Amino acid sequence: MESWPWPSGGAWLLVAARALLQLLRADLRLGRPLLAALALLAALDWLCQRLLPPLAALAVLAATGWIVLSRLARPQRLPVATRAVLITGCDSGFGNATAKKLDAMGFTVLATVLDLNSPGALELRACCSSRLQLLQMDLTKPADISRVLEFTKVHTASTGLWGLVNNAGQNIFVADAELCPVATFRTCMEVNFFGALEMTKGLLPLLRRSSGRIVTVSSPAGDMPFPCLAAYGTSKAALALLMGNFSCELLPWGVKVSIIQPACFKTESVKDVHQWEERKQQLLATLPQELLQAYGEDYIEHLNGQFLHSLSQALPDLSPVVDAITDALLAAQPRRRYYPGHGLGLIYFIHYYLPEGLRQRFLQSFFISPYVPRALQAGQPGLTSARDIAQDQGPRLDPSPTAQ
């Protein structure tokens, strides 16, 4: 039986690349990623010629080419035109950097700040165009929220509001959930959850009218139990779930909702070591004596030191987060979730696919290494040794500094 004629590897590669490029109608950048992808397709073509029947080989090559090239393709973008966007939390960090980029792209930007005279606000006023409007707002004050909502409705009456970027957020203490005052949980929920909820609900009439975008900066701490971030992580978990509900409910209106889950980046709050030292001292000063005796001051010192060490490894370039927010605002088909920053893929893989014990030990060794509270250390009444506790909890990747 005569076999089908098999074109040369170069011919198959050229045909496959042309077909996929036409099908995707994508804008591909000529660079190392694209060249590596073409080399991969060439190697796969060589293997397919020798191992598979012609039709099966063609299907494998076409499917692989589709996946690889579509991943490299830059998504289609909507024109900026006269689109208006409101961004919360623009005093520093992601909000400040995003406001500057969107203003440079031609957006009408409404940027909220805690203090109109803060360094970040003054920087925006100095370097951005007259289109950018600075608005003072504290998300814990309903009067501030109402004022900003009313200003937005008036200011965007002619152009409409295209997007809302819920960026403002707050993390207060680095401590176990038992050590954090209940007021800390309430404050984090007030800023990170209820503030975003009020802004989103207040602007939904405008966003439904424009079939616009809602982009919310959350955190991986809302997806997995990072040690000592219970108050912050709880508020971010609630926020992510809320945005998931909005995403489904607003689909008939054409409003697209995206969540940004960034890695740890060196924003101004992350770099402010003095701020974290003050908060540690505040926690120690207000901690009930019973809890201070049970955990010990050295326990809290250890948590704070480990936290500051993890922050020192934060990524200095904020552009991946800014690019993700921009894509969520302008991509014809934005993603539901963005994960800017290195290492998140591994963290999420471990969280979703490995056993719970390994997940917990990984998060502890990755973020804050374990430390035995004072009441559980060897020689304390009621326990034989810290080693017994460690055995009860299972093996650890990083031994406690108090264990000998």
Specify the CATH architecture of the domain 82-364.
Answer: 3-Layer(aba) Sandwich (3.40)
Q: What is the value of pTM for the model shown?
A: 0.77
| Residue 196 vs residues 139, 201, 208, 322: alpha-carbon distances, Å | 8, 9, 17, 19
Token couple for 252: 């008939």
Token couple for 221: 């701490």
What residues does each domain of the chain span? 11-70, 82-364
Q: Cα dihedral angle (255, 90, 227, 141), rounded to 10 degrees? A: -80
> How many CA within 13 A on the CB side of residue 110?
27
How many Å separate Cα 328 from the centre of its chain? 13
One DSSP character per residue, 315-381 reads BS--HHHHHHHHHHHHBSS--SEE--STTHHHHHHHHHHS-HHHHHHHHHHHTS-----GGGSTTST
| Residue 208 vs residues 80, 96, 103, 204, 358: alpha-carbon distances, Å | 18, 26, 23, 6, 44
Task: Report how far residue 263's alpha carbon sits from residue 390's, in angstroms, rounded to the nearest whole number.
Answer: 30
**Model pLDDT, residue 6:** 45
Task: Report how far residue 366's alpha carbon sits from residue 348's, in angstroms, rounded to the nearest whole number.
Answer: 13
**Model pLDDT, residue 13:** 53
Task: Report how far residue 254's alpha carbon sits from residue 78's, in angstroms, rounded to the nearest whole number.
Answer: 14
Task: Report how far residue 196's alpha carbon sits from residue 245's, in angstroms, rounded to the nearest whole number.
Answer: 14
How many Å separate Cα 160 from the centre of its chain? 27
**Model pLDDT, residue 388:** 46
Is 339 noted as a catalytic residue in this protein? no
Task: Report how far residue 98's alpha carbon sits from residue 338's, in angstroms, rounded to the nearest whole number.
Answer: 15
Neighbours of 336 (CB within 10 A): 12
**Model pLDDT, residue 117:** 94
Of residues 232, 299, 338, 371, which has the active-site annotation? Answer: 232
Position 6: which residue type? Answer: W
**Model pLDDT, residue 230:** 92
Token couple for 363: 């998060």
Q: What is the pLDDT along the chain (404 residues), one digit of tens a residue?
A: 444 444 454 554 555 555 555 444 445 555 677 777 778 888 888 888 888 888 888 888 788 877 776 666 666 788 888 899 999 999 999 999 999 999 999 999 999 999 999 999 999 999 999 999 999 999 999 999 999 999 999 999 989 999 999 999 999 888 899 999 999 999 999 999 999 999 999 999 999 999 999 999 999 999 988 888 999 999 999 999 999 999 999 999 999 999 999 998 988 888 788 888 899 999 999 999 999 999 999 999 988 888 888 888 888 899 999 999 999 999 999 999 999 998 888 888 888 888 888 887 777 776 777 788 888 887 665 443 444 444 444 443 333 333 33
- In this structure, are residues 138 and 144 in contact, taking their beta carbons and an 8 Å threshold? yes
**Which conformational region is residue 295 in: left (phi greater than 0), alpha (psi within -120 to 50 degrees), or beta?**
alpha
**Model pLDDT, residue 44:** 83
**Model pLDDT, residue 155:** 94
**Model pLDDT, residue 72:** 66
Residue of 322, 338, 329, 326 whose CA lies nearest to 162:
329
Position 403: which residue type? Answer: A
Task: Report how far residue 250's alpha carbon sits from residue 200's, in angstroms, rounded to the nearest whole number.
Answer: 12
